[in-house]
Chains A and B, each alone.
Chain A
Amino acid sequence: MTATLQAPPAADRPVIAHVGVPGLRLVRSEIRKITTTNAWWLFGLASLVFTGLALAINMAEASGHIDRARDTAAVFKPGRGMGAAEIAAARAEFAQLHDLHLQAVNAAGNIFTSGQFFGLLLVMLLGALVITNEFQYQTATATFLTTPRRTRVVFGKLFAVLGLGLVFWLVARAVSFAAGLLFFHDMGLTNSLSEWPVQRALIFNLVAYLLWALLGFGLGTLIHSQIGAVVTAMVIYLGGFVGGIGVFNLIRTYLIHGDWVLTSAVVMPPIASQVMVSPERLYPQAAPWWVGVLVMAGWSLVAGAVGILLNRRRDIA
């Protein structure tokens, strides 16, 4: 009889089920990444605070406009020394200011989309964070080990970011909806929600949330440094809103004399966004609203596509 050395019995290997739909697994993973850290609710809280502030300001303003429109005692008086054309313009403006229906619709458009300015900035920044967090916290290694086909990861994030934009829009709109209904009830006016200009404002408000989230995401894909992406996003957003059209006005005045210079200001995302959400032309030479949509989508696409190409070749070390 010979003694044989026996290998210890192999432990039972666990049976691990396959769960989830292949395409949606990554989206689910990305949503879990977002909801398991603090950024989303901090940003959400900020969005609520800004929405509340904007609501207060917009309601105060609207209340003033509506009171003025209701003042039936006011009579149009042309100023001294005005020409006929000036008088006509002033009369038209007076008529608008005292058109209760028009003022109510304008007020509804503003109130129901309150908080858009900071809301858009926040979803853009969050869009950038979704991708730059991977490099900031070195989770890119774990992510790309799990899903070595990196472009799939980017698309998973893309859908998560769009979902995030939608949720932020929904929450901000729910709050302004509740506040707006109370406001119009209090003013004894219809809420104008059946009016197309108000509906249009709400729809394009949603489109803007999605497009800005997408643009932030595109920037994050392109610029992996978190600080770099956030600063770039803020410069594009705030710089464009504050000084964008001014630069094009200067070019128009001193360099190239053509109205198309002003029209082309739409290439700047903030101008594109405003062009898109404005029911009427933002300024006389402004491009039509759909050009704004295309420009926003185009920038996101270009930044995202270049980012994906770089990402495929990038060493994760």
Chain B
Amino acid sequence: MADDGIAVSGLTKLYNNVRAVDDLSFTVSPGRVTGFLGPNGAGKTTTLRMVLNLVRPTAGTATIGGRRYAELADPVRKVGALLEASGAHRGRTGRNHLRMLCDAAGIPVGRADDVLDTVGLASAADRKFKGYSLGMRQRLGIAAALLGDPDVLILDEPANGLDPEGIRWMRELLRSLAEQGRTVLVSSHLLSEMELLADDVVIIAAGKLVQQGPVAQVIASTGGAQLLVRTPRPEALLAELGAAVTATPVEGGALRIVGADGPTVGAAALRAGAEIHELTVERRDLENVFLQLTAGKADIL
């Protein structure tokens, strides 16, 4: 299945001399869900559109299973993509939207009803697109992505407009697709959702790669544990801990310490004779890490 990975290399896009995507390289592995994260305006959508041959890169390449998208023999059966929820004609029914895609891809039109079933839109198949809610439009887009039963899925903000039940449905769908060995690349700004869903993350900001790797590894890479410490003698404790840690005061006179674990801080406090009133190991989640990694790099927040 190594055939189905996505490889982005040196990808760059200039819009009026603004580097929307700047020498971006990363890889996406099959059999895993990869979250593609970045602040608004980081270049996520532009990157995905370059991977899919919709936007021409200024420089660099993007391949799927070793081939550029435009060179794929049967793109619909290889790659399914969801890019924008509003991509259908207002006056066309959901079923006809899918059928016209079936025609072009050489897929039997009956497949349209199969995927409408999969995404739970069967009852709205004959309704016109203009009557669809945002969530229904999103489901139709996912149905279109699934038409060719592709090995690779590329989804831009698929959770947009979905209700909590829909988000959960989406999570289970993407997980099961990845478990079947498919490559799943999904961009999102819902970080808590990503932490539940993704195996790997690629984090970009201002068009550049910030961090890539398995979720746990990316979280660990930003400095291990994070502790909340309350003591009447913070200066003495910090002097004992030395320069290896960073400490920031938080409300109520406590300190947030990064770079040392609980036992180290406890031992240092004992040596410094600093009384400990509270010592809490804080869970660092993807959101903390993301905000730390992308701080000050967002064009728009």
Q: Which residues of A contact B (CB under 8 A)?
A: 7-8, 10-11, 13-14, 16-20, 22, 25-26, 28-29, 32-33, 36-38, 133, 137-139, 141-149, 156, 313, 315-317
Given A139-B87, A148-B53, CB of A25 within 8 Å of CB of B105 = yes
Partner of A148, one of B70, B88, B89, B93: B70
In the bound complex, CA of A20 to CA of B69 (Å): 22
Whether the pair B54, A29 counts as a contact (CB closer than 8 A) is no
In the bound complex, CA of A17 to CA of B100 (Å): 16
B284 lies within 8 A of chain A by Cβ? no
Whether the pair A141, B103 counts as a contact (CB closer than 8 A) is no
In the bound complex, CA of A301 to CA of B103 (Å): 27
CB distance from B296 to the nearest CB of A (A): 27
User: Chain A residue with minimal CB distance to B70?
Assistant: A148
Whether the pair B101, A29 counts as a contact (CB closer than 8 A) is yes
Residues of chain B in range 107-146 having any CB-CB distance to chain A below 8 Å = 107-108, 111, 114, 144
Question: Can you list 24 contacts pairing A with B, beta carbon distance less than 8 Å?
Answer: A10-B179, A10-B181, A11-B176, A14-B111, A14-B114, A20-B103, A25-B103, A26-B104, A29-B101, A32-B96, A36-B89, A36-B93, A137-B87, A137-B90, A138-B84, A138-B87, A145-B75, A145-B83, A146-B76, A148-B72, A315-B49, A315-B56, A317-B45, A317-B49
In the bound complex, CA of A16 to CA of B146 (Å): 12
User: Chain A residue with minimal CB distance to B69?
Assistant: A148
B267 lies within 8 A of chain A by Cβ? no
Interface contacts (Cβ under 8 Å), in number, total 118
User: Chain A residue with minimal CB distance to B85?
Assistant: A138
Q: A13-B149, A316-B54 are known contacts; what are 14 more A-B pairs with Cβ within 8 Å?
A: A8-B176, A11-B176, A14-B149, A16-B149, A20-B106, A33-B89, A33-B92, A139-B88, A139-B89, A146-B101, A147-B104, A148-B75, A315-B55, A316-B49
Contacts of B77 in A (CB 8 A): 16
Whether the pair B107, A36 counts as a contact (CB closer than 8 A) is no
CB distance from B234 to the nearest CB of A (A): 45
Partner of A19, one of B75, B101, B107: B107
Residues of chain B in range 33-91 having any CB-CB distance to chain A below 8 Å = 45-46, 49, 52-56, 69-70, 72, 75-77, 79, 81, 83-84, 86-91
Interface string of B168-187 (1 = CB under 8 A from A): 00000000100111000000
In the bound complex, CA of A13 to CA of B104 (Å): 21
Contacts of A16 in B (CB 8 A): 77, 107-108, 111, 148-149
Partner of A149, one of B45, B55, B70, B88: B70
B99 lies within 8 A of chain A by Cβ? yes
Contacts of B180 in A (CB 8 A): 10-11, 13
Whether the pair B52, A145 counts as a contact (CB closer than 8 A) is yes
Whether the pair A37, B91 counts as a contact (CB closer than 8 A) is yes
In the bound complex, CA of A135 to CA of B144 (Å): 18
Whether the pair A142, B108 counts as a contact (CB closer than 8 A) is no
Number of residues of chain B lying within 8 A (CB) of chain A: 46
Whether the pair B100, A33 counts as a contact (CB closer than 8 A) is yes
Given A37-B91, A38-B91, CB of A138 within 8 Å of CB of B86 = yes
Contacts of B53 in A (CB 8 A): 144, 148
CB distance from A52 to the nearest CB of B (A): 26
Partner of A142, one of B79, B144, B181: B144
Contacts of B49 in A (CB 8 A): 315-317
Contacts of A36 in B (CB 8 A): 89, 92-93, 96, 99-100
Complex A-B, nearest 4 residue pairs according to Cβ-Cβ distance, in ascending order: A29-B103, A29-B104, A36-B96, A316-B54
In the bound complex, CA of A146 to CA of B75 (Å): 7
Contacts of B181 in A (CB 8 A): 10
Whether the pair B54, A25 counts as a contact (CB closer than 8 A) is no
Contacts of B76 in A (CB 8 A): 145-146
Whether the pair A137, B89 counts as a contact (CB closer than 8 A) is yes
Contacts of A149 in B (CB 8 A): 70
Residues of chain B in range 150-179 having any CB-CB distance to chain A below 8 Å = 176, 179
Whether the pair B99, A19 counts as a contact (CB closer than 8 A) is no
Contacts of A7 in B (CB 8 A): 179
Whether the pair A144, B91 counts as a contact (CB closer than 8 A) is no
Whether the pair A142, B87 counts as a contact (CB closer than 8 A) is yes
